[in-house]
Amino acid sequence: MDGRGKMVTETPRALPLEQLRQRCDPETLSPAALGRHSGSGLIGQNRGLEALRLGVDIRHPDFNLFVVGPQGTGRHTAVEEILKERALRRKTPEDLAYVNNFDDPRKPVALGLPAGVAERLKDEMVRVVNDLANDIPALFESDEYRTQRRIIDEEFGTQQEEAMADFTSRARSEDIALLRTPMGFMVAAMRDDHVVKTEEFNKLPEKEQSVIEEKIARFQSELQEVLAKTPKLEREHRSRIEALNAEMAKRAVSGRIGEAQEALGDAGAAVDFLSRVHDDMVENPELFLQAASERPDGPFPEVSGKAHLEPLFRRYMVNVMVAYGPTAPESAPVVVEDLPTFDRLIGRIEHVSQMGSLVTDFTLIRPGALHRANGGYLVLNARQVLSEPYAWDALKRSIKDRSIATTSLAERVSLFSTTSLEPDSIPLDVRVVLVGDRSLYALLVMRDPDFQELFKVQADFEETLERNDESLGDMALLLRHYAEKNDLLPVADDALACLLDESSRLAQDGKKISLRVGPVTDILREAEHYARANERKEVLRENIERAVVERDRRASRVRDSVQEAIARRTLMIDTDGKTVGQVNGLSVHEFGGFRFGRPSRITARVRTGSGKLIDIEREVELGGPLHSKGVMILSGYLTTTYALDMPFSLHASLVFEQSYGGIEGDSASCAELVALLSALSNLEIRQDIAITGSVNQMGQVQAIGGVNEKIEGFFDICTERGLSGNQAVLIPAANIDHLMLRDRVTDAVEAGRFSVIPITSVDEAVALMTGVPAGARGGDDGTFPENCVNALVEARLREFAMTRKSFSDRAAAADGGEPR
């Protein structure tokens, strides 16, 4: 540092070959060398695994998990492995079933049964119905039943006949006859054993008519009394018939239900259900008789094994929602639902068409993922749950209420009105694991007040791991195991080393390796394809290198088009010569996951003004906020570095030439500042050097992203036009550890035909690109050395300030005022 705090640095030197790319030693990856490693399927995810274990083991119900991290880091694998391991420590949950509510069929009853009992109960009910469909009709056709039924009928008939006979006898004794007419019974007077007609009655003396009318009225009244007893007798008759039917049905039902209860043993709710079935069958034997009467006669009248399919007997069936086999090992369920729609989460109620109407019953209730995972664990993709209508709300409601309420989605959104059900809610005991990315997690935290109350554990998976012998060994062993598991050819040590280097390239950091195993294994599988095509017995380094090249080639159409436009001078990029106020900046473009670097010409123009630095990209709304921030930092640097005793009197404009899309990021701010300093100092900038890096208000160069692609983008253009040995790229020194350049670049550097130079300050950059020292303030007066870049810049800014003052004085004099 100088006396005024200005950074004083030596001229930067090009990076040596070993700093441009990390290379793994194949000898350290041999099977013998890897024997010391654990071989764990998950590397470097201790933080995420600890959170997973906490969320799985803690007993409190609202400690559900949200697993965050990028795809390919083993999130799903880790979750499933840990859940399956923990599931073995928990007992198998109950079977779940729905049965008919005989009191209110619209409200089916949920049964929780010991594991393995639900299917047994279902099968037993099928056998019970099939057996009784034969036994009950046969019993009602037996001689015993017919005899008892005849006795009851005869008793009723006798009572009816005796009452009518007594009435008829008494009436006849007083010359009154009982007549049956289409309208019912009536009484009439008799004389000489025949009914007195109206004409005869009218000819009788009045006294005799009065006597006959009195008799008719009296016996008519008595007849009403006799007839009034008939409904009571009929009710008694029906009651005795029903009692007989129930008694006969009970003989068959009790024995068969008793056998079912013995077969099921002490099955809790199943015993209560069978008792209720027993009562309903005894009360409704006519169901079996009706089914028998509707059954067509034929050569095979037996119904054994088929009666349970008849609609009349659906009331006795068992709708098994979740069942566990009695021979299965004891374990809690682990359910991964790939399509978490509303219906597939909480179940659905189906309907069938009958006579043009949609109807349903308890046998049409279907289970969802929450039913299958009850008592265990449910794994869901967070983005898919949120994208399905009503699914997220249904999941939250189930977790909060700790119950599963199966409803119809069509009814909820009022698409149409149908006969629906209100099934019993099923108690819920489940640990939900959502898997998603960090942006989605942050969005839920901000937007959903229920989220953190229900998902208290965040399992955050790392994207990268420090590159050292241990981590390289673990990753190598993981890739070998992957090849064996997927029946791939063995991987040679040098091929494995190349894969690990590519992992660091994917991590964008030479000191780390990527934990996104998916892209690495994709390269391995493609390389194995090439090895088999060449009839190799193992995957070689050349196969890995070809897979990498072919992968880039398939996705590089846009990059090639840009490079062709530059080569044809359609996009103007100079790679030789010198120009004032013009610099080659570097940017990164990404299309479909493929990243490539592109040089862009950045130009600056300056003149006297009011201290305004115009960012043309921002003015036309092509520049993003981060890019605009970088340009504003340049203004801060200029105003606090030069001509501090004078007003800032610069009008400058900056632009990315031939840029027709949006620009974001501040990685070009160092290049923009160099272009400004060149325009102010009138010093030419070397066009065979490109530069990348952001700059702060102190003039320090800061790290940026995509450094490898940016270097390679400028290198490819230089290669197309011919490498001169003077071409170079300036990068922030903070990015040295991130370098993992392709072999085409490192080979050129090794041959002395290209350079990568790290810088720490804008002074270093401007000195390298202009060939003139930047200069630092010194001496007693704190001025810059003569003819250095900073001195020329300061002199130009002072000139602008004096010009502006002179103009103001002339304008004031012309207005008749005092000079300012």
Looking only at the bridges linking them, the beta strands covering 176-181 and 184-191 are antiparallel
d(CA 800, CA 653): 15
C-beta of residue 303 within 8 angstroms of C-beta of residue 133: yes
- pLDDT at residue 1 in the model: 43
- pLDDT at residue 766 in the model: 94
Same domain, 401 and 282: no
d(CA 429, CA 412): 25
Extended strands (E) in 182-282: 184-191, 194-195
d(CA 291, CA 135): 12
d(CA 515, CA 629): 33
Same domain, 457 and 467: no
Please indicate, yes or no, if residue 796 is contained in any of the structural domains: no
Q: Could you list the residue range(s) of the whole structural domain that residue 301 is in?
A: 97-322
Same domain, 439 and 340: yes
Same domain, 311 and 183: yes
C-beta of residue 774 within 8 angstroms of C-beta of residue 767: yes
Look up the CATH number of the domain holding residue 362.
3.40.50.300
pLDDT at 359 over 70: yes
d(CA 577, CA 568): 18
C-beta of residue 47 within 8 angstroms of C-beta of residue 460: yes
Catalytic option among 587, 667, 681, 761: 667
d(CA 757, CA 725): 13
d(CA 339, CA 361): 26
d(CA 668, CA 598): 12
Same domain, 395 and 531: no
Please indicate, yes or no, if residue 605 is contained in any of the structural domains: yes
Residues in the chain: 820
Top pLDDT among 379 and 625 is at: 379
Burial class (CB in 10 A: 0-12, 13-18, 19+), 761: buried
d(CA 587, CA 601): 11
What would the pLDDT profile of 140-175 be if each residue is shown by its tens digit? Answer: 787 877 787 787 767 776 666 666 666 677 767 766
What would the pLDDT profile of 621-643 be if each residue is shown by its tens digit? Answer: 566 676 677 678 888 888 888 88
Top pLDDT among 208 and 273 is at: 273
What would the pLDDT profile of 526-582 be if each residue is shown by its tens digit? Answer: 999 999 999 999 999 999 999 999 999 999 999 999 999 998 889 999 999 999 999
What would the pLDDT profile of 738-772 be if each residue is shown by its tens digit? Answer: 999 999 999 999 999 999 999 999 999 999 999 99
Cite the DSSP H helix spans in 97-205.
Answer: 117-140, 143-173, 198-203
pLDDT at 684 over 70: yes
- pLDDT at residue 727 in the model: 94
For the chain, the C-alpha Rg in angstroms (whole number) is 48
d(CA 517, CA 65): 23
- pLDDT at residue 87 in the model: 86
Look up the CATH number of the domain holding residue 494.
1.10.8.60
d(CA 386, CA 384): 5
Q: Which neighbouring-strand residues pair with 378? A: 335, 432
C-beta of residue 629 within 8 angstroms of C-beta of residue 696: no
Largest CA distance in the chain: 165
What distances in angstroms separate CA 100 from CA 272, 290, 364, 424, 521, one per listed residue? 13, 20, 11, 11, 53
pLDDT at 2 over 60: no
Please indicate, yes or no, if residue 784 is contained in any of the structural domains: no
Residues 464-495 as b or e (16 or more Cβ within 10 Å = b): bbebeeebbbbbbbbbbebbeeeebbbbbbbb
Beta carbons within 10 angstroms of residue 149's beta carbon: 16
d(CA 460, CA 75): 9
Please indicate, yes or no, if residue 802 is contained in any of the structural domains: no
Q: Where does a domain end: 498, 527, 555?
A: 555
Report the predicted TM-score, pTM, of the whole model to 2 decimal places.
Answer: 0.77
Q: Which residues lie below 8 Å from residue 449, measured CB to CB, with a gap of 6+?
A: none
pLDDT at 477 over 70: yes
Q: Which residues lie below 8 Å from residue 376, measured CB to CB, with a gap of 6+?
A: 83, 87, 90, 93, 332, 333, 334, 335, 430, 431
Stretch (H or E) spanning 671: helix 669-681
How far the first Cα of the chain sits from its last, in Å, is 38
How many distinct structural domains can be found in the chain? 4
Same domain, 264 and 369: no
DSSP, res 568? T
Same domain, 733 and 685: yes
Q: Please compute the mean of the pLDDT values over residues 707-721 and round it to a whole number.
A: 94
C-beta of residue 531 within 8 angstroms of C-beta of residue 494: no
C-beta of residue 657 within 8 angstroms of C-beta of residue 571: no
- pLDDT at residue 298 in the model: 44
Q: Please compute the mean of the pLDDT values over residues 268-277 and round it to a whole number.
A: 87
Helix (H, G, I), strand (E, B) or coil at 361: coil
Q: Please compute the mean of the pLDDT values over residues 462-483 and round it to a whole number.
A: 88
667 assigned to active site? yes
- pLDDT at residue 499 in the model: 94
- pLDDT at residue 201 in the model: 67
Q: Where does a domain end: 303, 322, 341?
A: 322
Q: In what order do the strands lie in the sheet with 176-181?
A: 176-181, 184-191, 194-195
Same domain, 77 and 178: no
Looking only at the bridges linking them, the beta strands covering 594-608 and 582-591 are antiparallel
DSSP, res 700? B
Please indicate, yes or no, if residue 804 is contained in any of the structural domains: no
Burial class (CB in 10 A: 0-12, 13-18, 19+), 534: exposed
Please indicate, yes or no, if residue 785 is contained in any of the structural domains: no
Catalytic option among 659, 694, 710, 761: 710
710 assigned to active site? yes
Please indicate, yes or no, if residue 282 is contained in any of the structural domains: yes
C-beta of residue 351 within 8 angstroms of C-beta of residue 326: no
DSSP characters over 90-120: S----EEEEE--SS-TTSPEEEEE-TTHHHH
Q: Which neighbouring-strand residues pair with 587? A: 598
d(CA 109, CA 421): 11
Same domain, 66 and 103: no
Same domain, 121 and 83: no
Burial class (CB in 10 A: 0-12, 13-18, 19+), 354: exposed
Look up the CATH number of the domain holding residue 601.
3.30.230.10
Confidence label for 327 from pLDDT (cuts 50, 70 and 90): low
DSSP, res 404? E
d(CA 617, CA 22): 38
Instruction: Report angle CA 139, 142, 146 to the nearest 5 degrees.
Output: 115
DSSP, res 315? G
Burial class (CB in 10 A: 0-12, 13-18, 19+), 228: exposed
663-666, long-range: CB within 8 Å, 24+ apart, which pairs?
663/587, 663/617, 663/622, 663/623, 663/624, 663/627, 664/623, 664/624, 664/625, 664/626, 664/627, 665/587, 665/624, 665/626, 665/627, 665/630, 665/704, 665/705, 666/626, 666/627, 666/629, 666/630, 666/633, 666/694
Cite the DSSP H helix spans in 455-492.
Answer: 469-485
Same domain, 85 and 234: no
Confidence label for 299 from pLDDT (cuts 50, 70 and 90): very low
What distances in angstroms separate CA 727 from CA 417, 443, 721, one per listed residue? 76, 46, 11
Top pLDDT among 193 and 247 is at: 247
9-13, 285-289, 308-312, 363-367: lowest mean pLDDT where?
A: 9-13
39-48, 587-596, 696-705: lowest mean pLDDT where?
A: 39-48
Please indicate, yes or no, if residue 18 is contained in any of the structural domains: no
Q: Where does a domain end: 508, 530, 555?
A: 555
Same domain, 648 and 744: yes
What would the pLDDT profile of 386-426 be if each residue is shown by its tens digit? Answer: 999 999 999 999 999 999 998 877 666 665 556 678 899 99
